[in-house]
């Protein structure tokens, strides 16, 4: 089995060495233009030149959960695209989102401001029942997040494309379900894949349907959000705030209003990091199974875009 590795934004050598150690029977090397044709590839956001060069690939294994950057390319025609499923990301996402929900609900941001002025003052406790949390996307990450938030006794609702049953979560699906989902949500969490159907899904029209004083947590992709619509709704007072981990342009430019907006919290696309060891172990397992013709999880439906 010959495997080529092409990962942008990261040092490639540890990925090559790790996968080689996990698959001693294979020949693993870093992709360079003109490299010999491989059977499988392990990639993150490769350039088009990589696909043009490796048209014979049978499988492309993405080192992330989201495949939006990959599916923008003209891919080798016969390659099956496989994404990471979980690989240590769902627990990170659950802790990140629970933290954001609780920080907002318990007004910890306001206490931080008080602390800076040595001010001792309590705020009146709020009712969890008044803060229903709605998770868009009930896949590997969304379900884990929804159940983690529910464990803190918030009312939790979830929305997906196909109908679902998730314990402790009121589930909605499809276009009709979306309106009902939004109308009863006060804290909105985005964990959708970025596809043609979900691009710009958080916009003035949809965010206006949330309960008054809603809070937005985007941990999926920057292009799910129409940034100017969010800013306008924050400034008009319909939205109470936002915790944003992903942006249309990353790194977020220093002059962007999100950095200084008092109601916006910014983190640098860090809500769930790809963990190298877990990811390599999962990809190696899947490559072996796939080469034996066995079914594997995380195969991407190129038509649906996720
Ligand atoms: P999954 O594919 O497991 O889940 C996707 C969910 O979204 C499914 O429930 C799916 O519905 C739903 N969905 C897709 N399209 C629609 C639609 N048009 N309408 C309604 N629901 C829809 O993905 P993961 O949970 O593994 O990951 C989700 C995303 O999180 C990734 O694509 C990535 O962009 C982002 N991510 C961000 C990270 C970060 O650090 N910020 C880290 C990792 C991932 P159905 O079940 O019916 O198919
Ligand atoms: C991913 C990401 O999609 O890190 O895995 O954003």
The 10s digit of each residue's pLDDT in 119-131 is 999 999 999 999 9
Task: Give me the DSSP letters along 28-57.
Answer: EEE--TTPPP-SEEEEES--HHHHHHTTT-
Closest C-alpha to 21, from 13, 10, 9 = 13
Residue 233 tokens read as 């709704």
Ligand 1: distance of its center to the CA of 143 in Å? 10
The mean pLDDT of 32-48, rounded to a whole number, is 96
Answer yes or no: is the C-beta of 62 below 6 A from any ligand 2 atom.
no
Q: Is 157 within 8 Å of 172 (Cβ atoms)?
A: yes
Percent of the chain with pLDDT over 90: 99
The CATH fold assigned to 2-87+274-291 is Rossmann fold (3.40.50)
Q: Which residue's C-alpha comes closest to atom 5 of ligand 1?
A: 139
Answer yes or no: is the C-beta of 64 below 6 A from any ligand 2 atom.
yes
Measured from the alpha carbon of residue 62, the closest ligand is: 2
Same topology for domains 2-87+274-291 and 89-266, yes or no?
yes
Q: Which residue's C-alpha comes closest to atom 2 of ligand 2?
A: 64
Residue 80 tokens read as 């099956």
Ligand 2 atom showing the smallest separation from residue 221 Cα: 6
Query: Rounded to two decimals, what is the model's pTM?
Result: 0.97
Q: Which residue's C-alpha comes closest to atom 42 of ligand 1?
A: 272
Beta bridge partners of residue 60, listed in sequence order = 41, 81
CATH C-level class of 89-266: alpha beta
Ligand 2: distance of its center to the CA of 53 in Å? 25
Q: Where are the domains of the chain?
A: 2-87+274-291, 89-266
Residue 305 has pLDDT above 90, yes or no: yes
Please report the pLDDT score of residue 219 as a whole number.
Answer: 98
């Amino acid at each position: 089995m010959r495997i080529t590795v092409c990962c942008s934004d990261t040092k490639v050598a540890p990925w090559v060495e790790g996968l080689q150690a996990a698959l001693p029977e294979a020949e693993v090397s870093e992709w360079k233009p003109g490299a010999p044709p491989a059977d499988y590839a392990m990639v993150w956001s490769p350039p088009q030149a990589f696909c043009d060069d490796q048209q014979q690939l049978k499988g492309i294994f993405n080192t992330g959960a989201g495949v939006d950057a990959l599916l923008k390319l003209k891919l080798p025609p016969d390659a099956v695209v496989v994404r990471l499923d979980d690989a240590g990301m769902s627990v990170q996402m659950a802790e990140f989102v629970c933290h954001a929900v609780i920080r907002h609900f318990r007004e910890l941001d306001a206490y931080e401001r008080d602390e800076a002025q040595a001010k001792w003052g309590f705020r009146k406790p709020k009712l969890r029942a008044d803060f229903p949390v709605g998770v868009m996307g009930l896949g590997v990450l969304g379900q884990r997040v929804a159940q983690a938030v529910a464990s803190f006794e918030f009312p939790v609702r979830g929305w997906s494309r196909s109908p679902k049953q998730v314990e402790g979560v009121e589930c909605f699906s499809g276009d009709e379900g979306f309106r009902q989902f939004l109308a009863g949500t006060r804290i909105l969490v985005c964990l959708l894949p970025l596809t043609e159907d979900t691009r710009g899904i958080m916009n003035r029209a949809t965010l206006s349907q949330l309960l008054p004083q809603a809070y937005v947590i985007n941990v999926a992709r920057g292009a799910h959000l129409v940034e100017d619509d969010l800013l306008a709704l924050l400034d008009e007072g319909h939205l109470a705030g936002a915790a944003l981990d992903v942006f249309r342009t990353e790194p977020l430019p220093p002059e962007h209003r999100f950095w200084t907006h008092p109601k916006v919290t910014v983190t640098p696309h860090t809500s769930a990091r790809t963990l190298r060891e877990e990811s390599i172990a999962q990809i190696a397992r899947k490559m072996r199974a796939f080469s034996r013709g066995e079914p594997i999880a995380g195969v991407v439906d190129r038509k649906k875009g996720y």
